Amino acid sequence: MMINCKGKLIDLSSPKVMGILNITPDSFFEHSRTQTESDILKKAELMLKQGATFIDIGGYSSRPDANDVAEDEELNRVIPAIELLVAEFPEILISVDTFRSKVAAEAIEAGVAMINDISAGNLDEKMMPVIAQYQVPYIMMHMRGTPKTMKQLTEYEDLVSDITYYFSEKIKEARALGINDLILDPGFGFAKTIDQNFELLKKANLFSSFKLPVLIGISRKTMIHKTLNIKPTKALNGTTVLNTLALTKGASILRVHDVKEAMETIKLVAHFNK
């Protein structure tokens, strides 16, 4: 499974790590919040040294109940960070976590390689046409509603079947526009209860029927720290356990706060599977 990032072919048949770099004051895991130039450079450099293939920059916190962020504010957060990183690390492959087409377009112009959209185009009808225009890889996540409303939208007829149908419709829409490189994200924690998150992880291998890369983002999330009754700061061990399970279920990309540990997990699982 290859994707084209700025002319560089990335083979996702061996799993890769995406490091999280939040340019926000309110992301749920406080140690992931990065706002000064020197912090941004330091954190990105460390993640790249530890083996991250992608760095995912976000300027809009999508945690449950997160406040809305104006488009200009989101742009003012992410564009300078992108320009800073591209200047310092010319080979860097940056993904931008946004559901806004204008942010996506400006980010790509600034040097971004991939767009990570929590709404798969549902929150901005111009998003998919922008992706088609620039032909960058597009991560389509499953979510219902918005970060403000998603906690109330957790009733499904059949969780995995409903998400599978959602992806089939989204893939059809993207292919009709000529988008080449698609990545699926089942959306752990987005309009799903803790039990539903575990059911989703248990059945994540079913999404391989689409023959597309699957991104799993469970790093330090509620399903870990609430189940264990700990704070997100103490949820690294739980993250590693669930990332290990995600790899056995076919994950192509692990989106994480802790790159070194995720890389070790991938290496050990690959050795186990020899």
Q: Catalytic amino acids?
A: 221, 255
3 forms beta bridges with 10
Paired sense of beta strands 8-11 and 16-22, if any? unpaired
In degrees, rounded to 5, the angle at the alpha carbon of residue 242 between the alpha carbons of residues 169 and 11 is 60
In degrees, rounded to 5, the angle at the alpha carbon of residue 149 between the alpha carbons of residues 143 and 154 is 55
d(CA 271, CA 129): 41
The residue whose two tokens read 């940056």 is: 94
Structure tokens at 222: 């509620």
In degrees, rounded to 5, the angle at the alpha carbon of residue 61 between the alpha carbons of residues 243 and 26 is 100
The candidate with the shortest Cα–Cα distance to 217, out of 204, 231, 233, is 204
